[in-house]
Amino acid sequence: MSDPSSPRPRAGEETGVRAGTAPFPGFPAGARATLIPNQLFAELLPQIEDPAELLVTIYLFFALGRRRGFPRALTFDELATEVPLRRALARLAGGAGVEEGLRRGLEGAVARGSVLRARRDGRDLYLINTAAARAAIAAGQLPGVELVPAPGPLPDEPPPSIYTLFEENIGTISPLLADELREVEASYPATWIVAAFKEAVSLNKRNWRYIVRILERWRAEGRSDATVGRDLQGHPRRRDLEGRYRNLVRR
């Protein structure tokens, strides 16, 4: 329980609500709604890291939902005049500027694939990436509209280090054990190490010796679903880790 004598935070310190802002009264009965696919919340939301991308993606559903005809699309300049969007981006952008925040959000959404960028008469158009929009553009049903290829996939996050994996899944690292971890990290591809930890955890075998055996088995028998990425054969630091550090790890 919290200490009742402790001072309560002022508005805006922890809640994110600006001082002097009246509480939202709630949604009235019969309020108009915006249709947003469940996938945005179930699949995209956990992936999006840039608040500008999330804000722009959600707002596009609202703004395009008010458009008539087909395709429902907006230009950059049209989005930049949307007052609610400008106000929200101004809070996020800080000194970077609203237009820069909008541009960054659109670029992120296009790169992720949630938004399509097309071009007509030299101007970029932004559409929600739906099956209907893709089919219409591909079939040439939209005169003068050409799909702009999305940039390459977003760069993958670097895999966690072996030290992070150990601490998160097994426990504290002793100085002597750190030497073994360093040896394993130099002897196996990072993707193998991550996969070995995942396999051990999925089997509830949170034991370092078990993980080492997985790696040694893959080295001896091969791992068909992974690319080695390093030359394990004849690796200058390759050795039998099982025997060398047997006494350092609790079974």
CA atoms lying within 13 Å on the CB side of residue 199? 15
Q: Please check whether residue 209 is in contact with residue 251, taking contact to mean a CB–CB distance below 8 angstroms.
A: yes
pLDDT at 141 over 90: no
Considering only CA atoms, give the Rg of the chain: 26
Nearest to 106 by CA among 50, 173, 28, 178: 50
What pLDDT, on the 0 to 100 scale, is given for residue 119?
86
Give the lowest-confidence range in 43-52, 92-101, 188-197, 204-213.
92-101
Would you state the pLDDT for residue 176?
A: 84
Which one, of 119, 1, 125, 115, lies nearest residue 58 by Cα? Answer: 115
Report which of residues 153 and 214 the model is more confident about: 214
Buried-exposed string 32-55: b where 16+ CB fall within 10 A, e elsewhere: eeeeeeeebeeebeeebebbbbbb
Give the separation between CA 146 and CA 10, rounded to whole angstroms.
52
pLDDT of residue 197: 92
pLDDT at 86: 92
Tell me which residue has tokens 């394993």: 184
More confident residue, 85 or 241: 85
The pLDDT confidence band at residue 108, using thresholds 50, 70 and 90, is: very high
Domains of the chain: 38-147 (1.10.10), 162-248 (1.10.10.630)
pLDDT in tens, 65-74: 888 766 688 8
Chain segment 14-34, per-residue pLDDT in tens: 555 666 678 888 989 988 888
Average pLDDT of span 234-251: 41
**Contact at 8 Å (CB) between 151 and 117?**
no
Whether the pLDDT of residue 155 is over 90: the answer is no
Compare 144 and 228 and report the one with higher pLDDT: 144
User: Over the chain, what HEC string results?
Assistant: CCCCCCCCCCCCCCCCCCCCCCCCCCCCCCCCCCCCCHHHHHHHCCCCCCHHHHHHHHHHHHHHHCCCCCCCCEEHHHHHCCHHHHHHHHHHHHHHCHHHHHHHHHHHHHHHCCEEEEEECCEEEEEECCHHHHHHHHCCCCCCCEECCCCCCCCCCCCCCHHHHHHHHCCCCCHHHHHHHHHHHHHCCHHHHHHHHHHHHHCCCCCHHHHHHHHHHHHHHCCCCCCCCCCCCCCCCCCCHHHHCHHHCCC
- Give the mean model confidence (pLDDT) for residues 143-152: 73
The mean pLDDT of the chain is: 78
Lowest mean pLDDT among 37-41, 122-126, 157-161, 184-188: 157-161
The answer, yes or no, to whether residue 214 has pLDDT greater than 90, is: yes
Asked if residue 245 has pLDDT above 60, the reply is: no
Please give the structure tokens belonging to residue 12: 């805006």
pLDDT-derived band at 224 (thresholds 50, 70, 90) equals low
Return the percentage of the chain with pLDDT > 70, whole number: 75
Tell me the average pLDDT across 45-51. Answer: 89
> Rounded mean pLDDT of 132-147?
79
pLDDT classification of 107: cutoffs 50, 70, 90? very high
In the predicted structure, residue 4 carries a pLDDT above the cut 70: no
Average pLDDT score over residue span 214-222 = 88
